[in-house]
Amino acid sequence: MDVKVLEMPVTAPARRIRWDKLAPYLFISPFFIIFLIFGLFPIVFSGWISLNDWTGLNPPVFIGLNNYRNLLKDPDFLLALRNTVVLLLFSGPLTIGGGLLLAVILNNRLVRFRNVFRTIFYLPLVVSLIVASQVFSLLLGNPFGLFNEVLARLGFQRVSFLTEPSLAILVLVILITWKYIGNDLVIMLAGLQSIPPELGEAALVDGANARQVFWHITLPLMRPVILFDIVLSTINTFNIFAEPYTLFSLSGGVRQSGLVTGLLLYRTSFQFFKFGYGSAMAYILGLIIFVLSLIQLRVGTRETER
């Protein structure tokens, strides 16, 4: 005797339960789809391209690690890496230290028009990179620009800042400090405002002066914020492109004195169409940034735990 199995129709509550389980994954799926297409795929694809000789027009030719070997002996890459490190060593302390100093001053309740000064220091960050670089190019590159007029009136000789190889990094340091010190100011100010004011007030009551409060209370509590800013500054310096491009073009200026890693990476990939070599360069730079950030985090964590 055949037994017939009756199929029960899916009720509305069952459909609702199934949709409740599926809905969260549907809502978060756009992020993962976009990340896979524009994030993970380019990283994996550039890793494969770095093992090939490819101009984008001809079929890729597999050459293994030759791009990496040639890169470590490339004088242009070593020069760009040296210029970038020098730029980081000079601009980093100026922007981070200057931002911290300005934040301490503008966080003081005795300072009048604090919000006005905060806006003034943040304004350069809103200005377009191209506009700011063009203005600096006119101020420094023109023999009769403002900087040279000031030097001439003070009795000094006029200097062509953009064509003097020894001054190229100095010009970049000035531009980067002017441009990004407002960003560091905002980061430091947010860190300072998260510190309970009662700690400093209690120290002042116990006989400490303002300098002792800063060194023994404010600065130790600000170490995580400063560490974050150092890592962020390192990443941004190795990726800098618009400023040196506007000031020195893709050539990097006279004797490539203004050549940095971001400029060389763009020039290699999109001017000479050496996509395999450029991908290898990007991976080497990514490894350098990762190692530097890891060292900074380790050192900063140890100092914080003491």
**If you average pLDDT over residues 84-109, what whole number do you get?**
91
Arithmetic mean of pLDDT over the chain:
85
Q: Which residue has the higher pLDDT, 29 or 206?
A: 29
Domains plus CATH for the chain?
66-305 (1.10.3720.10)
Residue 281 pLDDT grade (very low, low, confident, very high; cuts 50, 70, 90) = very high
pLDDT one-digit tens code per residue, 225-258: 999 999 999 999 999 998 888 888 888 888 888 8
Question: 110 exposed, middle or buried (CB, 10 Å; 0-12, 13-18, 19+)?
Answer: exposed
pLDDT at 6: 47
Angle, vertex CA 138, rays to CA 238 and CA 172, nearest 5: 20
Give CA–CA dist 161/189, Å, rounded.
34
The strand pairing partners of 52, in sequence order, are: 62
Helix (H, G, I), strand (E, B) or coil at 250: coil
**If you average pLDDT over residues 23-43, what whole number do you get?**
88
pLDDT one-digit tens code per residue, 265-274: 999 999 889 9
pLDDT one-digit tens code per residue, 147-165: 888 888 888 888 888 888 8
**If you average pLDDT over residues 205-210, what whole number do you get?**
80
Task: Look up residue 73 and give its DSSP letter.
Answer: T
- Flag the least confident range among 107-116, 168-177, 179-188: 107-116
Helix (H, G, I), strand (E, B) or coil at 62: strand
> CA of 212: how far to CAs of 70, 200, 227, in Å?
53, 10, 21
Give CA–CA dist 104/184, Å, rounded.
12
Does 2 have pLDDT greater than 90? no
Dihedral sign, CA of 40, 44, 50, 54? Answer: negative
Q: The tokens of 72 are what?
A: 């470590």
pLDDT at 11: 52
Residue 264 pLDDT grade (very low, low, confident, very high; cuts 50, 70, 90) = very high
Question: 17 exposed, middle or buried (CB, 10 Å; 0-12, 13-18, 19+)?
Answer: exposed
pLDDT one-digit tens code per residue, 47-92: 999 999 998 888 889 998 999 999 989 999 999 999 999 999 999 9
**If you average pLDDT over residues 105-112, what whole number do you get?**
83
Does 124 have pLDDT greater than 50? yes
Task: Look up residue 61 and give its DSSP letter.
Answer: E
- Flag the least confident range among 14-23, 109-118, 151-160: 14-23
With CA atoms as reference, report the closest residue to 168 among 143, 201, 140: 140
